[in-house]
Amino acid sequence: MNYNWNWSVLFEQQYFDWIISGTLWTIYLSLAASVIAFFLGSLIGILRTLDNKILNFIGTTYVEIFRNIPLLVQMFIWYFVFPELVPKEFGNWLKQDLPNPEFSSALFCLGTYTASRVAEQVRSGINSVSTGVGSAGYATGLTTYQLYIYILLPIGYRIIIPPLTSEFLTIFKNSSLALTIGLLELTARSNMIMDWTFQGFEAFTAATVIYVSVTMIVTLIMQRVEKQTQIPGFIRQKT
């Protein structure tokens, strides 16, 4: 193996800045997309557990569509196709006036895609609450809305903390797809350093270390959260 090692390249001002800004973009994008995925995913997941054929159908269709199209294709559709399909003025605004269109496209893409996966988790969380609990809730006079807000969701969410954590980590990894539409996140930056300096080993190692460390930190934090929120008497699920 013929390779000129030069780890100091990572600490040259320009490349160091690239790595930092790449990392920050990756983190911003993942956090913002998680918020969308959590709320939209919860909504879709709840739709699928309600006793209503039409709402079930809407939820199921959403999940099937978003799960069966590769994320990369979805990314291109949000970025290239969506502005063309909406009314002209709105499309022009998206293309010309929206600040940082790469970021917002990637954000909606990751958010809506992950929502379909979160929906499945939320649904299984709600379904795993015993039906007796639901009946008891109705018997005390709660409306369906109250039943979900006060009983089913608080229990369901606590059960699905481990799978939700891995969904968040999936967003974090999937955010690298934003490089295909030109967002300079961590993977894109490391590839740029490789192109500019030919120090691929150092550049990719830096990115790998950052991805692995963030994954480890998030996993550790969520293990603590899971312990804190554990419901006595429920068996803790293993990831």
Partner 1 sequence: MIKNFDFDVIIGSLPFLWKGLQVSFYLTFLALIGGILFGTLLALMRISNFKFLQYFSMTYVNFLRSMPLILVIFWFFFLIPLIIGRPIGGFYSAVIAFTMFEAAYYSEIIRAGLLSVSSNQVAAARATGLSYSQSMIYIILPQAFRNMIPVLLTQAVILFQDTSLVYVVSLRDFMTASSIVAQSQSRLVEMYLFAALIYFLICFTFSFMIKRIQNRKVVQ
Binding site for partner 1 (CB under 8 A): 1-3, 64-65, 67-74, 76-77, 80-81, 84-85, 169, 173-177, 179-180, 187, 190-191, 194, 200-201, 204, 207-208, 211-212, 215-216
Question: Which one, 134 or 189, has the nearer CB to partner 1?
Answer: 189
Question: Which one, 143 or 239, has the nearer CB to partner 1?
Answer: 239
Question: Which one, 49 or 176, has the nearer CB to partner 1?
Answer: 176
Minimum distance from CB of 40 to partner 1 (Å)? 19
Minimum distance from CB of 148 to partner 1 (Å)? 27
Minimum distance from CB of 217 to partner 1 (Å)? 11
Q: Which of 78, 34, 64, 93 is nearest to 178 (CA)?
A: 78
Residue 105 burial (C-beta neighbours within 10 Å; 0-12, 13-18, 19+): buried
Question: Which one, 148 or 168, has the nearer CB to partner 1?
Answer: 168
Minimum distance from CB of 203 to partner 1 (Å)? 9
Can you state the angle between helices 186-197 and 200-229, rounded to 10 degrees?
160
Q: CA-CA distances (angstroms) from residue 107 to 122, 130, 137, 144?
A: 21, 36, 38, 32
